[in-house]
Amino acid sequence: MVKVWTAVAAAAATYAGAQGHARPSFECEHWKPHYPFNGHYNTTTAISTDKLNVHLIPHTHDDPGWLITVDQYFTQEVDYILDTVVTELQKDPKRRFMYVEQSFFQRWWREQSKETKKIVKKLVKNGQLDLEANGGWVMHDEAAPHYSTMLDQTAFGHKFLLKEFGYDGYGGPGGFFFENDSPIKDDPYLHDNNVCERIKTFVDHSLERAKHTKGIALYQNAHRWFKNLDKLIHYANQEGRVNMFYSTLGQYTDLKLQDKSLEWSVKTDDFFPYADQPNGYWSGYFSSRPALKRYVRVANSLLQSVRQLEVWAGAKSTRVNHLVATVGLSLHHDGITGTEKQKVSDDYAQRLGEGVGNGHWRLNELLDTTVDFCFLANVSICNRSTTSDPFTFVVYNPLPVAHSYTIELPIIAKNAAVELANGTAVPSVVVPFVPVYSQPIANAAPHQLVVQAHVPPLSWLVYHVTFPKASSSEESTNGWDVVTESIMSAENEFVRVQVNTVTGSLVSLTNKATQTKLNVTSSLLYYQAYGKQGDSCSSGAYLFHPNTSAVHNLPAISGHNCLKTPLLASCVFQFGTWGSLQYKLREWDHSVVVEWTKTWYTDSNGLEFVKRVRDYRETWNLTLHNEEEKVAANYVPITIATYIRDKSNQFNVITDRAQGAASLKDGKIPYCPLN
C-alpha cells in the first residue's frame, strides 16, 4: 500500500515509566474530557521533564513509481497533498510536516507562484516544514544500487535545498490511520462519542512502544489528518499520562541527544536478507527485472564518464542534470528493485533512455565533435560500422589504472584492419556473429570485429577501421577455428580453461603460473517457485520462496558454437527457446583457484565486501523453519561481485548488474541473474 500522507509517532522516553517500569493505569469512567467549544485545540509544543514526550511527526511516503508511474502519482495525488499541507500549516504555527522525496517536491515547486514560494520558505525557516530528512531525489533501495549512484541522487536533492532554502546539511498503531480508520468524535452530543476510547488506545500504544524502541515508534487530504491530530494532542495531554506535540525528526533527535545517560546500540552487520514472516524472505527482488538493473548500471557508467570529461574541460555539470535525475529516479525502492508493475518498469526504462540521450549529447558537446553511439552493438546492429566504408571508434578508460578492453563491433565484411591514430597496427580478429538470444534478430550483421584495446588510465584512444582485401590484410588476425571436440581447451598467458561442449559445463581451470589445476563444474538451474492464490508467502517480485530446496535442470542443449582465435575463445550454448550461455576467454584474462568453506563474501553496494556465513547472523539467532527457507534466507544482494576464499587464494564471480547470490554448499556459488 502506498501511503501518500502519513504520520509518525515518535515517543521520546524521558520518564521512568518508559524505561521498563509499570505504566500508570487509566480507565475511561474516571476521566471526563474538556471539549473546546470554540474549536481551538491546545497543541502545545512544550517539552516535559516528568512525562513521556510523544512526538507526532507528520511525514510522507510518496512512491515515485510503483503501481502507477511517477507522473500519475504526482498528478493524481502528490500535487494535491503538498497544496493542502501548505494551507494547513499556515493555520497553526505549532503544526509540523516532514517531506522527503525531492523528485516530487522540486516538480511541485516549479509550478508554484512567487507568493507560494515565499510562504513555503517561511514555513521552512520557522521549522514547520522539514525538508532535511534524507533530502535525496528518492528514498533509494539499499540492496541493488551502486554506492556512487546513492551518493549522486542524495547530493542532487541536497543541491536544490541548499540553493533554495540554505540547508547545509510505514504503518502505525492500529486504528490511527486516519484515511481508513474512524476519526476522533469529540462532540459531546454524539451518541458514538469516542474520545476516551481513542485517546486511551493511542496513549497505551505510545507507552508500550517506548519500552522497545528507545522512544521511536512509527504511524492521505491534509485537512483531515491535521484536524484529527489536533484533537489527539489536545485530549491526550488532558488525559495526563504523556506529553504530546507536533514535532520533526530533527527535534526528536536533538531531544534524545541531550540525554547523556542514553547508550545507543551500534550495528555493524547489515539487514539482508530481510524476512517479515516464516518463508517470507525478501530476497526475490535482488534479481527481479534484471534488464532494468543492467540499464541502470549502463546509465550510471555513462554519467561518471561524462562527469570526468566535464572536470577536464572545466565545464559546469548542470548540463547533464537530466541524466542525473533519471538515474536517481531509477534507484527508488520500487524501481531498480523490480517490484513495480510492468508499465512502470517500462516508464523507468524510457526515462533512462532519455537520460542516456542527454549524456550522449553532452559528450558530443565536450568533445566538440559528432560521435554516434551504437545501442544495439551487442546484438550485432550498428549503422556506422555495418557499411563498406571505413570508420573510426573511440575507447575511453574512466579508471585511474590502465585497462584492457575487448571491443566487439558488428561488420558485414569478412576481414578488417585496425590501427591507432598514429598508424600503429592493433591486434584484431573477425569472427562470425553467433546470437546469444533465443529470438531471431532482424538486420543483424553477419560478422563481428574483435579488437584488443589497451587504454592508459583516464584516457581515450582513437581507432581507425578499414576493410582491405583478404590478400592484403596483414595487420588483422582473421583466422578462427571451429571446435568440434567434446572437450574444448583454451588458454592464454595466465590460465587454461576446459569446457565440455556436450553439457555446457566448465571442466577445469588451471593457473599456469603455479600449474595448479582445479576441477570445476557450472550449470544453469532453476527453482520451482511456491505460489498459492491469496498466500502472502508466494514467491514473486519481492519474495523468494522455492517450492522445495531442489533445483531443476534447464531443457537439454539444443545447439552450440565454439570458436578459437588468437585473441579470444568463445563457446555459446543454446537451451531451446529459454536462453543461452556463453563462455569467453580473452588473451589477457587470468584467474586463481581455491579451497572452499561455508564462508563467502559479497560486496556492499560496490563499496566494500561483507563476510557471510551460511545459516548464521552475527547479531541475532537465526531460526529457519524448513529446507526451502534455508535457500531463500541465504541469498543476499550483490551489486558487482561475490567471492569465496581460503587463507591464500580467492575465486571471484563478477556481475554486470545487481543480482542475488548465495553459497548453499561448500565450494559452490549459486547466483540468481533473474527472478
Q: What does each C-alpha distance from 3 to 128, 142, 338 come to in angstroms?
A: 21, 20, 19
Distance CA 231, CA 198 (A): 10
**Least confident residue range of 13-27, 226-240, 319-333, 423-437:** 13-27
pLDDT of residue 282: 92
Distance CA 545, CA 375 (A): 36
93 pLDDT higher than 50: yes
Which position has the higher pLDDT, 458 or 613? 458
Q: How confident is the model at residue 145 (pLDDT cuts 50, 70, 90)?
A: very high
Report whether 133 contacts 158 (CB < 8 A).
no
**What torsion, rounded to 10 degrees, do the Cα atoms 62, 64, 70, 72 define?**
-20
CB atoms within 10 A of CB 570: 23
pLDDT of residue 505: 87
Q: How confident is the model at residue 26 (pLDDT cuts 50, 70, 90)?
A: low
pLDDT of residue 120: 96
242 pLDDT higher than 50: yes
pLDDT of residue 470: 65
DSSP 320-344: GHHHHHHHHHHTBTTTTTS-S-HHH
190 pLDDT higher than 60: no
Q: b or e along 109-140 (b: 16 or more beta carbons within 10 Å of the residue's beta carbon)?
A: eeeeeeeeeebbeebbeeebbbbbbbbbbbbb
Q: By CB neighbour count within 10 A (0-12 exposed, 13-18 middle, 19+ buried), where does 478 fall? A: buried
179 pLDDT higher than 50: no
440 pLDDT higher than 70: no
> In the block, which residue shows the cell 533473474?
674
pLDDT of residue 192: 45
* Average pLDDT value for residue range 577-586: 78
Q: SS3 for 300?
A: helix
Q: How confident is the model at residue 202 (pLDDT cuts 50, 70, 90)?
A: low
667 pLDDT higher than 60: no
pLDDT of residue 415: 86
pLDDT of residue 674: 53
Q: SS3 for 528?
A: strand
Between strands 559-564 and 579-586, the pairing is: unpaired
Q: How confident is the model at residue 433 (pLDDT cuts 50, 70, 90)?
A: confident
Question: What residues are paired with 573 via a beta bridge?
Answer: 560, 581
Distance CA 331, CA 146 (A): 9
Between strands 242-246 and 52-59, the pairing is: parallel
Between strands 608-613 and 97-98, the pairing is: unpaired
Report whether 280 contacts 287 (CB < 8 A).
no
pLDDT of residue 104: 95
User: Residues with Cβ < 8 Å from 491, sequence gap 6 or more?
Assistant: 497, 510, 512, 585
21 pLDDT higher than 70: no
- Which range has the top average pLDDT, 322-336, 376-390, 465-479, 485-499? 322-336
Q: How many residues does the chain have?
A: 675
315 pLDDT higher than 80: yes
pTM of the model: 0.81
Model pLDDT for residues 54-76, shown as the tens digit of each residue = 888 888 788 999 999 999 999 99
Q: How confident is the model at residue 588 (pLDDT cuts 50, 70, 90)?
A: low
Distance CA 537, CA 625 (A): 13
**What torsion, rounded to 10 degrees, do the Cα atoms 373, 378, 380, 385 define?**
30
pLDDT of residue 602: 74
Distance CA 379, CA 369 (A): 26
For residue 75, the 8-state DSSP code is: I
Model pLDDT for residues 29-59, shown as the tens digit of each residue = 666 666 665 667 778 777 877 878 888 888 8
Model pLDDT for residues 514-554, shown as the tens digit of each residue = 888 878 888 878 888 888 888 888 888 998 888 888 888 88
Distance CA 420, CA 417 (A): 11
Q: Which of left, alpha, beta for 180 (phi over 0: left; psi -120 to 50: alpha)?
A: alpha
* Average pLDDT value for residue range 308-336: 91
What kind and span of H or E run contains 628? helix 627-633
For residue 319, the 8-state DSSP code is: G
Which position has the higher pLDDT, 614 or 230? 230
Q: What is the CA radius of gyration of the chain?
A: 30
Q: By CB neighbour count within 10 A (0-12 exposed, 13-18 middle, 19+ buried), where does 640 fall? A: buried
pLDDT of residue 218: 30
| Cell triple for 296 | 541502470
| Percent of the chain's residues with pLDDT above 90 | 25
**Least confident residue range of 196-210, 319-333, 464-478:** 196-210
User: Residues with Cβ < 8 Å from 160, sequence gap 6 or more?
Assistant: 102, 106
Distance CA 284, CA 540 (A): 6
Between strands 568-575 and 579-586, the pairing is: antiparallel
Q: SS3 for 151?
A: helix
Domains and CATH numbers, the chain: 6-132+169-257 (3.20.110.10)
186 pLDDT higher than 60: no
What average pLDDT does the structure give for the chain? 79
| Percent of the chain's residues with pLDDT above 70 | 77
pLDDT of residue 46: 78
Which position has the higher pLDDT, 479 or 540? 540
* Average pLDDT value for residue range 242-251: 86
pLDDT of residue 337: 94
Report whether 482 contacts 414 (CB < 8 A).
no
Q: State the Cα angle at 660 between 657 and 664, rounded to 5°.
A: 145
What sign for the dihedral angle of Cα 594, 598, 603, 608? negative
Measured over all CA atoms, what is the biggest interatomic distance in the chain, rounded to whole angstroms?
105
Which position has the higher pLDDT, 462 or 368? 462
pLDDT of residue 180: 45
Model pLDDT for residues 394-412, shown as the tens digit of each residue = 999 988 999 888 888 888 8
Q: How confident is the model at residue 473 (pLDDT cuts 50, 70, 90)?
A: very low
pLDDT of residue 177: 43
Distance CA 186, CA 408 (A): 73
Q: By CB neighbour count within 10 A (0-12 exposed, 13-18 middle, 19+ buried), where does 411 fall? A: buried
pLDDT of residue 300: 95
Q: SS3 for 120?
A: helix
Distance CA 331, CA 295 (A): 11
pLDDT of residue 234: 82
What kind and span of H or E run contains 410? strand 403-411
